[in-house]
Amino acid sequence: MKRLLVLTVAAAVVLAGCGYDETRVPKAAATSAPSSAAPAPAPTCDAGTALRSYAPPSTLPSPGDMPRGSTMAKIRNRGRLIAGVSADTFLLGSRNPLTGKIEGFDIDFVRRIAAAIFGNPDRYQLRVITAADRLPLLQKDEVDVVVRNMTINCTRWEDIAFSAEYYASGQKIMVRRGSDITGLSTLAGHRVCAPTGTSSLDNLRRLAPKAVAVEAPNHTSCLLKFQQGDVDAITGDDTVLAGLASQDPYAVVLKDKPFTSEPYGIGVNKDHVDLVRFINGVLEKMRSDGAWENSYRTWLAPTLGRSPGQPRPQYGRQP
């Protein structure tokens, strides 16, 4: 009887104390591999006319005197200019962690447009957007302008309008020090990062189809992947890569000439031709009063060197 009792107790303890199924985490659905889709077709528009914007008015209206019914008057009535910008593109538009303010070369243009409409350069609201957001937000009128190192091209002209070119950039490649990548021709088989929805990504797929294109939401995400060893190189505009390289002493921008031309323009809803003309007037004023040069000197000269000068505007586009 004693043995029976011991066995029963032992069985009870074993049954009650042990025998839990091991805790398991359900398997997640497999994530997709880095994109290697076919390259987008190259824009077929005429590069000679792509930079043509709407001519500015002969004289800019004063801040208190915007034409009735104009886009500028509507912005003035709202009380602030809404601009889509980047907050992570060092030197062009990035949040200064020490002050919490977004600042850079692009932001200076927002301030000048706000000053031209309100007489006060601080009457603006910045909306931080990704490259892929730029066109849709303009088309939906959720932002008045996009000043986010956006390349002017004919494909985009079909959806939005651009100001005259405000900076002549070009696409380059950034690699680790000691990398065997020396240029476009040596990218085959290497993982190269570029932001989703950018011409940089399209150019990479078109000019280096054997490279493994890896997409990221923005260039700073590319830098994070680069620092974590997930990609071998980053491609983008020289201005952007200069900003990335200055955050990482082990990164170097290849010294080759840019393999594309990336003329930056300020994006506007295509229906707001009056605002485009107004902005072009502001850009002309920045040329004449030296504001463009001052801005370049503050943000880009330390890394990109001497000023190439504000690009000459091209007009003649008709609504």
Partner 1 sequence: MSQQVTAAPAPDTGLDQHDAPVEAAAPSRSADVPTLLNRLQVAAVAACVLFGVITAGMQLLAWQANRAAADNTEQLVRVQNIQSTLYRADALATNAFLIGGLEPPAQRQAYDDAIDQVSRSITDAAEAQSADRDVLADLNTTVNKYSTSVELARANNRQGFPVGAEYLLTAGGQLRAEAGPIITALVDANAQRSEDAMGAHQPWLLLLPGLLAFAVLFWVNRQLAERFRRRFNIGIVAAAAAVAVLTLVAIVVSQGQRSDNQDLLDGSYKNAVDEASARTAGNDAKANESLRLIKRGSGQVYEDAWAAADNKVRNTTSADAAWDRYAAVHRRIVTLDDNGRWDDAVKLATTAGAGGSTAAFEAFDEQSRETVASSGRTTTDELRAGNSGILVLAVLTLLAGLAAAGAAAWGVGQRRKEYA
* Site of interaction with partner 1 (CB under 8 A): 1, 4-5, 8-9, 11-13, 15-17, 20-26, 28, 79-80, 82, 87-90, 94-102, 125-130, 133, 218, 220-221, 223-224, 227, 244, 247-248
Residue 268 Cβ, how far from partner 1 at the closest point, in Å? 18
Other Cβ atoms within 10 Å of 191 Cβ, number? 17
Other Cβ atoms within 10 Å of 75 Cβ, number? 24
Return the sign of the alpha-carbon dihedral for residues 304, 113, 313, 205. Answer: positive
Residue 105 Cβ, how far from partner 1 at the closest point, in Å? 14
CB burial string 105-137: b at 16+ within 10 A, e below: bbbbbbbbbbbbbbeeeebbebbebbbebbbeb
Residue 28 Cβ, how far from partner 1 at the closest point, in Å? 7
Q: Which CB sits closer to partner 1, 196 or 227?
A: 227
Q: Which CB sits closer to partner 1, 139 or 247?
A: 247
Q: Which CB sits closer to partner 1, 223 or 282?
A: 223
Other Cβ atoms within 10 Å of 273 Cβ, number? 17
Q: Which CB sits closer to partner 1, 51 or 147?
A: 147
How far, in Å, CA of 235 to CA of 224, rounded? 14
Token pair for residue 260?
A: 């594309």
Backbone angles phi, psi at 142, to 5 degrees: -85, -20
In total, the chain counts a number of residues equal to: 319
Residue 113 Cβ, how far from partner 1 at the closest point, in Å? 15
Q: Which CB sits closer to partner 1, 16 or 30?
A: 16
Task: Of 118, 128, 137, 139, give the one whose Cα is nearest residue 75.
Answer: 118
How far, in Å, CA of 55 to CA of 49, rounded? 14
Contact 186, 166 (CB under 8 A): no
Residue 57 Cβ, how far from partner 1 at the closest point, in Å? 27
Residue 135 Cβ, how far from partner 1 at the closest point, in Å? 14
**What is the SS3 assignment for 120-160?**
CCCCEEEEECCHHHHHHHHHCCCCCEEEEEEECCHHHHCCE
Residue 56 Cβ, how far from partner 1 at the closest point, in Å? 27
Other Cβ atoms within 10 Å of 141 Cβ, number? 13
Residue 302 Cβ, how far from partner 1 at the closest point, in Å? 13
Token pair for residue 73?
A: 């008057």
Q: Which CB sits closer to partner 1, 12 or 154?
A: 12
